[in-house]
Amino acid sequence: MTMTTETLIVPSFDNDDSTGRKLAIICSKGNLDMVYPGLILANAALGEGVETHLFFTFWGFDIINRKTMDDLKFSFLGNTAMHPPGMFGVSVPQGMGGLPGATAMATHMLKKQIADLDVPEVPEFLDMIHGSGGHLWACRMSADMMKLHEDDLFEGVEGIISASDFIEMTDGAQLLFI
Amino acid sequence: MTTSTIAGRPVDVNEEGFLLDPGQWDEQLAPELAKLIGIALTEEHWKVLRFLRDDFAIQGETATLRRTSLQTGKPVKELFELFPGKPAKKMAYVAGLPKPKGCV
């Protein structure tokens, strides 16, 4: 039996549902370090009961292309913030990112750091987002440019849609462009 | 700190209602906590709750949704069905544990 007193505090888990909060995330980059922010935020929003839609466009198409999704890369070429893991203030000349093997090495290091935090790789992350009720949409123009079809995409993608369709579908949503 | 009376006994809770001391939780408390957030516990809920309690005892922090899914073998989708809307927070609440800290 539950005794209710004046001081009974219960978390208001479901109060936000009535606000109909919606989040739209446009993923336009295929570099590994630009892919994770969108996926992590989508996953966090879903865990908070927020209706979440992701739109994959241009280089972001690589995230849902089954041929590339497991092989996204990180380069520090052009990234002046690059430093070795944990060595703040020690700069790595970003131009070194152009040397042969630098991208493979940087990708390997980044993937290891992400795995150490128990954060999944991209295909498994998409599975998790899909399983959490997230909506995944592919950009029509990108598909046409790359001559790709639904068969080429991660199976959780709900459809290849136009930019207008996405804008219409996410009416009233908060929007992130990454 | 506030003291709430749940299942006929005083329990210390934070400003949101989460238990402050996981040691005040036992299996009699869980169904009452669940009822307060509109959940009727089934054996499938219990599998998750027992994992969370055991894992917290070892790790010292509440398992995230992904960890819970991997370790219990329950797909994330099922966890959303068992604890709708905000599964990670709801399961932590019913298990008498703090909210998970991890992002994923």
Catalytic residue, from B40, B58, B103, B104: name it.
B103
CB spacing of A11 vs B37 below 8 angstroms: yes
Q: Is B104 part of any domain?
A: no
Q: Is A13 part of any domain?
A: no
Q: Is A52 part of any domain?
A: yes
| The two three-digit tokens of residue B97, written as one number | 């544990």
Q: Is A6 part of any domain?
A: no
Looking at the structure, do residues A39 and A66 belong to the same domain, yes or no?
A: yes
Structural domain harbouring B64:
2-94
Q: Identify which of B91, B69, B103, B83 has the alpha carbon closest to the alpha carbon of residue A43.
A: B103
Looking at the structure, do residues A129 and A174 belong to the same domain, yes or no?
A: yes
For residue A8, give the nearest of B5, B16, B87 by CB distance.
B5
Looking at the structure, do residues A62 and A85 belong to the same domain, yes or no?
A: no
- The total domain count for chain B is 1
Looking at the structure, do residues A66 and A77 belong to the same domain, yes or no?
A: no
Structural domain harbouring A151:
21-70+121-178
Alpha-carbon distance of A62 to B37, in angstroms, equals: 41
Q: Is A31 part of any domain?
A: yes
Check if the beta carbon of residue A128 is closer than 8 Å to that of residue B77.
no
Written as one letter, the residue type at B90 is K
Q: What band does A6 get if pLDDT is binned at 50, 70 and 90?
A: low
Alpha-carbon distance of B64 to A105, in angstroms, equals: 30
For residue A9, give the nearest of B4, B32, B67 by CB distance.
B4
Q: Is B39 part of any domain?
A: yes
pLDDT in tens, B40-83: 999 999 999 999 999 999 999 999 999 999 999 999 999 999 99
What is the average per-residue pLDDT within B11-27?
Answer: 92
